Every structure is written in structure tokens, then in C-alpha cells.
Amino acid sequence: MIRLGGGSTIGRVVATEALPAGPHQFHFWTAIDTAIGIGAIVRVDAENGRTVYAVVVDGRAYSDLATPLHEVVAAEGDPAGDRAPTRRTEIRLWTAAVLRHEPDEPIQPVPLADVLLATEQDVEAALRMDGYVRGEQPTGIPIGVYRAGGLAAPVYLDADFLLGPESAHLNISGVSGLATKTSAVEFLLSSIFQRLPSHKGSVAALCFNVKGPDLCFLDQPTELTEADEELYSVMGLAPRPFEKVHYFAPYKADGVNLNTLRSNAALVGDVQPLVWGLREVLDYHEVLLNRDDIDAKADAFLDFLADRVVDKQFRDEWGNTHRVGSFADLQLLFKAIFDGLEAAGRGDSWRTHHIATIRKVRNRLLNISTRCRGLVTDDGTVSDLPFGRFEDRSVYVLDVAGMDQLGQDLVFTRVVTRLREHLERGDLGVDHVVVFVDELNKYAPADGPDTYVRKMLLDISERGRYLGLVLFAAQQFRSQVHRRVVGNAGTLVFGRMDMDELAMPGYQVLSPATKIKLATLPPGALVVPRPPFSQPLFVRVPRPAVLQGPAGVKRFPPAADVPFEEAVVRQLTAMDKRIAPARIRDCIAGRREDDVRRALLATARTRPDDVEGYFKASLGPAVRREAAGRDQDATTPLRSVEDPYAT
């Protein structure tokens, strides 16, 4: 290959009546052995000072052979015969799509002049990056490296378009494994953290880990190849893992082992439990109802519970006083209602709510406490994200990969709604939050019922940019995601694509050669279509400088689930290495699991200096076991998800 570097003449524009040069497309020829290819950026300088920047979208080679028959005649019909002593004259003829004219007006056909390989400055100009990479308040965020003919130039996105307010959101599509979607988002988050200029304010990322160990090791370094390191250096970025990462995971159904693959003893200590109570669930009860049927009556009853019952003194008609603070309390209330109605003998409604509605709501609510047993506690303890205290350049990873879809929906809805509320009030702690939702097609599918989660994602995509609430989403097939959610993404990125997907009408603007290139992109190569020309730009993206999920579980094998007592010991010793396991065992021996769990949770949430003392104090003195009545009606826990990698 010829290494030319930018700025050298590599071709000449040709135009014939049949193949003219237009204002948006032109043709040029090069030497047979040329450094350019599909996706290369070129520049044409006219004598009158006009400059045109363009990207190569197609290439053809042909010889002066007028018809294949002439080859047959010359070879006397024998393809294996002697080679002709002379090679026919060949041409490499390229088609380029114009990216930019300078001056912008008037738009004229491309001049029939020399074609130059773009320099770094040309790449900046061609992609209109000069407007935001230079100047007093630059807002360029490196997204990858453009490479052609020996030139390696950084490509920037405009933070104003990526994080708002001009536009916002990023959507990345491509086939599994080869498109490197998740990796690319990790890289880009790191790039944002390193380069978001101070005048744009602070930024944090909230990542939902929805697939196995994908995002479980963002704080761990990894070995990079020299090629990757070079890419980092071209972009002026430091290849290092995230410095501030906070992990949250619900418990498994046993209520003590964390439901995450970051469960290796060396790491599990900094995973905080995500535990919600009745109040947290009831506020987002829409999630529970919209899945099967939207029912105004059930809605009304839920409102009644939320407004009049939960966390309040409530007297029923049968002389009982309730203070409902947990699912267990709620269970008792329902029992009282059903018993009371039955005793009265004509039990078809209670306080205007039909008994069928009451049953339905009861089933839904108790169902969630069962299906999300590790997330939702019966007893009213809560451990939540630090809303209001989000820190600049921090990543908050919510590991929901092991959760049931209903639980994931609940987590999404509640977390995003809280983010939104805080951002609206300006008291989240940071100015921007990037919410990363992988496998978006599961949460905002193109078809299927209009779920609350999808509505919420649509809402972020439409209004988030004014708030600093930014959605980064990835999915294999863009066509399987709700149109408007994708449509509102200001930045679209493609990794290797599926040919069937490329055959969809949305991709018609791409040339056949570009489509083929898209369908055969190697890992780490991405395409960033550039509005307003919608011509693709091919960039190289390095591996993120963090330990990737599969390698992470090799280096930090997840711990097997351990019995209750052992799990408590491990979690406490992970918080404080000085604790003697035997003392903990003694202290929890014979105690109710719920009480131990509550004390453990309180300790994990507080992170006191004196872990052991705090835990013991929270546990309180041993009291005689109460009658087990409370637990009588509890449904058996669901088994935890067997295959954590299953999607």
C-alpha cells in the first residue's frame, strides 16, 4: 500500500456527459495502486478558490475490454491457456459524495480539478467539526479516529448535540458481538468524562447492566493492544478505567446474596444493595398495571392505598388500626378486609372498590414482592441510589441483569423518573446524566403493548435534552425499536450491520458499496452518519480501557451463593477486613433472618467506620422469637435466574 498522508494529489475529477460532476456527487480516477478506499475523505480545489470536501462512496475498476467475448476470442476459448503478454489498461474510478462546499453559496458542480487526500484540518472542515473543536469554548468530544492513506485524525462529536441542549442522545445499532456496541458506549463515556469542558458543567452516567457481566468491571483496568493505545493517543485520551464507579444490585431471592456477577470476594464489598419498600413501589404502580390491562378502577384503588393508607394511621370498619409500611403490613390489611367482608356476609365491595379490583391489586402487589423478592423487602427497609448527591464524572451501575422483566421495568421507571424529577428541580448533584440502556429493543420495542417503560423512554428522548437527561442506547436492530425513540437520537452510530436490516427502507440513502462495507465492518470500526448529508463516516474506536465482562468474570470469578450466615459474614468482612468471622457468627446465631438482613442493610447503606459495632447495634439485643404468623402467607420465592447471560 502507498502511504501518502494527507494533502497529496491522488486523483483527478473526471466528468463526461454520461457521468457528469454534480454539486453533490462526482467521479475521479486514481492510480491503480492507491491509498484510498470507501469512506476516505478527499478534497478538490478549484482554481477560483472554491474547495469541495467529499467522502468516497463507491469505486469501480475496469479495463478497455469492450466485451468479454474479446477475451474469449483472444484466449481461443481456453481460460487456462497462456496469459496475454500485455495487461490491458485499467482504471480505478471512484464516486464521491460531497460533504461540504466552501464557500457554502452558491452551490455549484464540483470543479474538474485535482483530488487530494484530506489532511487532519481537511477532515475537521469536511465534517464541519471546525465549528466546535476550535474557538473559545470548544465542545468537541472524541468519538473515534478517521483513518485513510496513512492519515489518522480524531473525529469529534459536539457536546451540545450529544448532551444537549441543541440535540441529545446517542443510538448505536449493529449485530451481536461484532458491532462492539456496548464497548463503544463505554469508550465514549470515558471520552466524555475526560473531555467535557468545564463550561458545560458536570456529568454522571447511570448504566443499567442488563446483560451478564457486561458493565460489572468498569473500574478495573485491562491490557490494551498497541493499536488501541495509538488510537487513544491520536484522540489525546488517557486509556484508563473509570475512577468513580458505584455499583448497585438487588439481592437474590434469599435476601442476602447480591444478584450480580460482581460477587467475587475482592469486589463485592463495594456493591451496594438496591432495596426498596412498599412506598417506592406504590409510587410507580403504573408499571405494574400497564402490562396486561389499563384499569381505571385498579388505578383508583392504588391511589387510595398510596394516599390514605400507606405510612398513615388507618382504621378499618372492623375496629382494627393499621399502619402499613411494608408489604407484610399490606398483607395484613388485605386479610382484614377480606375477613371483614366475609363476616358481613355480602362482600362485593369495600369503600366503593369492588372486591374483584381489590383482589387484583392485592395480587399484583404481592406478586411484585414475590417476583422481585431481592429488590423489594417486606419489612420497609430501603437502600437506594444517592439521588441529590450524584457526583461529577461518576458512573452508577445498576445491575439488573439477573432480574425478572417486571423488576427491571420497575427499576427503570423509578430510577429514571427520580432522575428526571431531580434534574427538573436542579438538585440531582450533577448537570447532566447519561442513562445507558443496552438492548433497547427490549424496553422500547417497535411493536407490542405501549408499556410504561416505553412511554418513559420516549419521554426522555423527546424532552430530556432540555433537562440534561441523556439517553445512550444500543440495540442490534434499529428497526425493532420504537421509531421516535431512535428518531430523537441526535447521534446515530452503526457497527457491523445485518444485510436484512440494511435492506430496510431507512437505509436507502446509503450506496450499495457503503452497505456492503457496513455489513462487513470489523470489530471496533463504527460509522457515524453526518447530517445533513447522511453520508457515512467510518471511524475506528479503541477498546474501552476497562475490563470487559467476559474477561472480568475470568479474572474475578463470581462467588457461589453461600448460606445465609456465611453471606452475612462475607459482606461484613468485605466492608471491614479486621472483623473476626467467628464473632459475627456468634452474634447472629439464633437470630431471625429478617432482623439480620435489616441490620446488614443498614450497615451497608451507612458504611460506618466501626462496621462491627454498627451492625451489632442495628441488630439490637436478642429477643425471643415471635410467633411466625407474619410469614405465614408469604409466597415461596422465585428461583433466581439460572443463566445470567440469557437475554
Partner 1 sequence: MADALRSAGGTVGAGALLTHVAPPVASPFGTASHVEGECILAIDVGGPAPPPEAVAFLDGIQRYAVEGRFGLVPVVRGYAAAAVLEREGTELGVARALQEEFLVVARSRLTPDQEAALEDVDLPIVECDAAERSHPILDVQLAAKAVQRRREVVEAELAAAHIEEAPGSWLVVDGSLGGIGALEDGARVVGLVKSHETQFLEGADLEVALTLPEGHRTSVFARTAGARGRVFSFYLRLWPWQEHDLLHGLVRIERPPGEAAVAEASEVSRWLLAERAPLSAPDGRWDRLIYPIRQVETFLRAQAGGWW
Ligand X SMILES: Nc1ncnc2c1ncn2[C@@H]1O[C@H](COP(=O)(O)OP(=O)(O)OP(=O)(O)O)[C@@H](O)[C@H]1O
C-alpha cell at 352: 366503593
Count of chain residues binding partner 1 (CB under 8 A): 16
State the minimum distance, in angstroms, from the CB of residue 436 to ligand X: 11
Per rule CB under 8 A, is residue 583 in the interface with partner 1?
Answer: no
**Which of ligand X, Mg ion, partner 1, none sits in contact with 171, Cβ below 5 to 8 A by type?**
none
**Which of Mg ion, ligand X, partner 1, none sits in contact with 220, Cβ below 5 to 8 A by type?**
none
- Cα dihedral across residues 623, 624, 630, 635: positive or negative: positive
Show Cβ contacts of residue 560 under 8 Å, excluding neighbours closer than 6 positions: none
Closer CB to partner 1, 89 or 137, in the complex: 89
Identify the residue whose cell numbers are 478527499. Answer: 42
**Measured distance CA(309)–CA(322) in Å, rounded:** 8
82, 348, 609, 643: which one binds partner 1 (CB under 8 A): 82
**Measured distance CA(286)–CA(289) in Å, rounded:** 5
Per rule CB under 8 A, is residue 88 in the interface with partner 1?
Answer: yes
Element (DSSP H or E) covering residue 239? none
Q: Which stretch binds partner 1 (CB under 8 A): 77-85, 150-158, 463-471, 604-612?
A: 77-85
State the minimum distance, in angstroms, from the CB of residue 16 to partner 1: 14
DSSP line for 539-602:
EE-PPPSS--HHHHHHHSPPPPP--HHHHHHHHHHHH-TT--HHHHHHHHTT--HHHHHHHHHH
Give 511: exposed, middle or buried? Use CB within 10 Å, 0-12, 13-18, 19+: middle
Closer CB to partner 1, 88 or 483, in the complex: 88
Show Cβ contacts of residue 351 under 8 Å, excluding neighbours closer than 6 positions: 304
State the minimum distance, in angstroms, from the CB of residue 645 to Mg ion: 11
Q: Which stretch binds partner 1 (CB under 8 A): 68-76, 242-250, 424-432, 597-605?
A: 68-76
State the minimum distance, in angstroms, from the CB of residue 399 to ligand X: 15
**Which of Mg ion, ligand X, partner 1, none sits in contact with 464, Cβ below 5 to 8 A by type?**
none
**Which of ligand X, partner 1, Mg ion, none sits in contact with 83, Cβ below 5 to 8 A by type?**
partner 1
**Which of Mg ion, ligand X, partner 1, none sits in contact with 73, Cβ below 5 to 8 A by type?**
partner 1
The answer to whether 210 touches 438, Cβ cutoff 8 Å, is: yes
Closer CB to ligand X, 183 or 488, in the complex: 183
**Measured distance CA(362)–CA(491) in Å, rounded:** 44
CA atoms within 13 A on the CB side of 228: 17
Backbone angles phi, psi at 496, to 5 degrees: -60, 135
Identify the residue whose cell numbers are 475529477. Answer: 13
Closest CA to 183 of 207, 150, 159: 207
Closer CB to ligand X, 218 or 541, in the complex: 541
**Which of partner 1, Mg ion, ligand X, none sits in contact with 388, Cβ below 5 to 8 A by type?**
none
Element (DSSP H or E) covering residue 27? strand 25-30
**Which of ligand X, partner 1, Mg ion, none sits in contact with 85, Cβ below 5 to 8 A by type?**
partner 1
Per rule CB under 5 A, is residue 491 in the interface with Mg ion?
Answer: no
Residue ranges in 181-210 that form contacts with Mg ion under rule CB under 5 A: 182
Per rule CB under 8 A, is residue 87 in the interface with partner 1?
Answer: yes
Closer CB to ligand X, 521 or 596, in the complex: 521
C-alpha cell at 392: 461529577
Distances (CA, A) of 250 to 212, 366, 592, 601, 633: 14, 18, 20, 11, 23
Per rule CB under 8 A, is residue 532 in the interface with partner 1?
Answer: no
Give 194: exposed, middle or buried? Use CB within 10 Å, 0-12, 13-18, 19+: middle
Q: Where are the alpha helices (DSSP H) in 27-81?
A: 68-74
31, 73, 107, 509: which one binds partner 1 (CB under 8 A): 73
**Measured distance CA(390)–CA(203) in Å, rounded:** 9
**Chain residue at closest Cβ approach to ligand X:** 524
**Which of partner 1, ligand X, Mg ion, none sits in contact with 174, Cβ below 5 to 8 A by type?**
ligand X
State the minimum distance, in angstroms, from the CB of residue 157 to ligand X: 17
Strands, E, within 341-393: which ranges? 349-350, 353-354
Closer CB to ligand X, 99 or 400, in the complex: 400
Closer CB to ligand X, 176 or 363, in the complex: 176
- Cα angle vertex 611, ends 608, 614, to 5°? 80
**Which of partner 1, Mg ion, ligand X, none sits in contact with 408, Cβ below 5 to 8 A by type?**
none
- Would you give the binding string for partner 1 spanning residues 475-514, x where CB under 8 A is met? ----------------------------------------
State the minimum distance, in angstroms, from the CB of residue 29 to partner 1: 13
85, 345, 532, 629: which one binds partner 1 (CB under 8 A): 85
C-alpha cell at 162: 450529544
The answer to whether 10 touches 34, Cβ cutoff 8 Å, is: yes
C-alpha cell at 59: 469505486
The answer to whether 203 touches 431, Cβ cutoff 8 Å, is: yes
**Which of partner 1, ligand X, Mg ion, none sits in contact with 86, Cβ below 5 to 8 A by type?**
partner 1
Helices (H) and strands (E) in the chain, counts: 23, 22
Residue ranges in 424-483 that form contacts with Mg ion under rule CB under 5 A: none
Residue 302 burial (CB count, 10 A): 20
84, 499, 503, 622: which one binds partner 1 (CB under 8 A): 84
State the minimum distance, in angstroms, from the CB of residue 232 to Mg ion: 21
Per rule CB under 8 A, is residue 74 in the interface with partner 1?
Answer: yes
Identify the residue whose cell numbers are 491522488. Answer: 10
Per rule CB under 8 A, is residue 66 in the interface with partner 1?
Answer: yes
**Which of Mg ion, partner 1, ligand X, none sits in contact with 179, Cβ below 5 to 8 A by type?**
ligand X
Per rule CB under 8 A, is residue 446 in the interface with partner 1?
Answer: no
The answer to whether 633 touches 331, Cβ cutoff 8 Å, is: yes
**Which of Mg ion, partner 1, ligand X, none sits in contact with 198, Cβ below 5 to 8 A by type?**
none
C-alpha cell at 153: 485524525
Q: Interface residues with ligand X (CB under 6 A)? A: 174, 176-177, 179-183, 476, 495, 523-524, 541-543, 548
Tell me which amino acid residue 410 is: L
Q: Which stretch binds partner 1 (CB under 8 A): 64-72, 164-172, 240-248, 299-307?
A: 64-72
**Which of Mg ion, partner 1, ligand X, none sits in contact with 484, Cβ below 5 to 8 A by type?**
none
Per rule CB under 8 A, is residue 577 in the interface with partner 1?
Answer: no
**Measured distance CA(208)–CA(211) in Å, rounded:** 9
**Measured distance CA(12)–CA(348) in Å, rounded:** 86
Residue ranges in 262-321 that form contacts with Mg ion under rule CB under 5 A: none
Closer CB to ligand X, 467 or 541, in the complex: 541
- Residues forming contacts to partner 1 in the complex (CB under 8 A) are 65-67, 70-71, 73-75, 82-89
Binding site for Mg ion (CB under 5 A): 182
